[in-house]
Amino acid sequence: MKKFAVTTSYKPNQQQITLAKKIANELSCDYIPRKKIKDFNLDFFYVVEKDERLVIRKKGFELFFHPSIAKVRFLNIKKGLKDYLIESLNPSGNEIVLDLTFGLGSEAILMANFLPDGKVIGIEGSIHIYTIVKYGLKNYKDSSNWINNALKRIELYHGNFKEMIKNYPENSFDVVYCDPMFENPVFESSAMNPLRGFALYDSVNESDVENMLRIARKKVILKSRVGDSMFDKIKVDKILKGKNSVIIYGVIYKN
Ligand SMILES: C[S@@+](CC[C@H](N)C(=O)[O-])C[C@H]1O[C@@H](n2cnc3c(N)ncnc32)[C@H](O)[C@@H]1O
């Protein structure tokens, strides 16, 4: 079991202390005043910053919510470049998408931007990633309005998608999206690096895909990478991949 606690930045205001205590209570861990945190042998700790931004810290490392990759990908789309997730989604604009592996939510934000009358419902299995992102989605304000608007169309839940997909009724969502951690990580992916120590590493099997298809009205989109085994085990109707990219999106259409 990892040892962790919640604290604030130095010289906190009362609001920070109240929020830090609330988060400690939600995580069933201790709130420790910042000056004392060095006296505890913790694996990591949460910090409620002055602007109520929530950060996980450990030596040489920080995990916090930021939609940076969504921004880069949207700028690329605006420049006329293809984004194969958005191509796979081929949105009308009113779809409800279930994102089973939310992570830091970059792809959810990108999808939500193309769903002005729809929404993205996210599931994240790691309590620490979920907590950072839940407070991030709530408090984050960007200089780009499209991000702020996209964030309003996202709902996030904590849970294990393998269990949750068994319980949703048939045809509950238009699209089900799943992007598990790669078997062969792309370490150059700096956006993913802070997440690695906290993430769940479940893979997708045929029975999961059966359930994904059952709860989807239109299609299931799966993400993997060249060299990983997902698409050896799971047959898809369409593969979308950039010429020089290792990232693969596979689409399974519902009849
Ligand atoms: C590759 S990341 C997803 C990145 C995401 N698409 C993004 O744009 O930020 C995979 C995420 O799925 C989560 N995950 C893995 N297995 C899961 C499970 N069984 N249930 C819920 N979440 C899971 C991991 O903890 C991790 O945060």
| Ligand 1 site-directed mutation target among 74, 200, 212, 246, most atoms within 8 Å of CB | 200
In sequence order, what E strands does 85-138 have?
A: 96-99, 119-124
Domain boundaries, the chain: 4-64, 68-253
pLDDT score, position 87: 98
The atom of ligand 1 lying closest to the CA of 177 is 6
Asked if 4-64 and 68-253 have one fold, the answer is yes
Annotation: CATH topology of 68-253: Rossmann fold (3.40.50)
pLDDT, tens digit (0-9, with 9 covering 90-100), for 145-181: 999 999 999 999 999 999 999 999 999 999 999 999 9
Closest C-alpha to ligand 1, atom 1? 181
Interval 230-242 mean pLDDT: 96
- For 23, how many CA atoms within 13 A lie in the half-sphere containing its CB? 31
The atom of ligand 1 lying closest to the CA of 106 is 8
Q: Which of these CATH numbers, 3.40.50.10480, 3.20.20.70, 1.10.10.10, 2.30.29.30, describes 4-64?
A: 3.40.50.10480
Is 228's C-beta closer than 6 angstroms to any atom of ligand 1?
A: no
pLDDT score, position 187: 66
Is 240's C-beta closer than 6 angstroms to any atom of ligand 1?
A: no
Given CA atoms 79, 85, 89, 93 in this order, what sign does their dihedral have?
A: negative
pLDDT, tens digit (0-9, with 9 covering 90-100), for 107-160: 999 999 999 999 999 999 999 999 999 999 999 999 999 999 999 999 999 999
* Band (195; pLDDT cuts 50, 70, 90): confident
pLDDT, tens digit (0-9, with 9 covering 90-100), for 34-88: 999 999 999 999 999 998 899 999 888 899 999 979 999 999 999 999 999 999 9
pLDDT, tens digit (0-9, with 9 covering 90-100), for 197-218: 999 999 999 999 999 999 999 9
Residue 191 has pLDDT above 70, yes or no: no
Q: Which two tokens stand for residue 21?
A: 């205590």
Taking the centre of ligand 1 as the mean of its atom positions, its distance from the CA of residue 51, in whole angstroms, is: 27
Q: What Å distances lie between residue 40 and 7, 29, 35, 52, 197, CA to CA?
A: 12, 13, 11, 23, 20
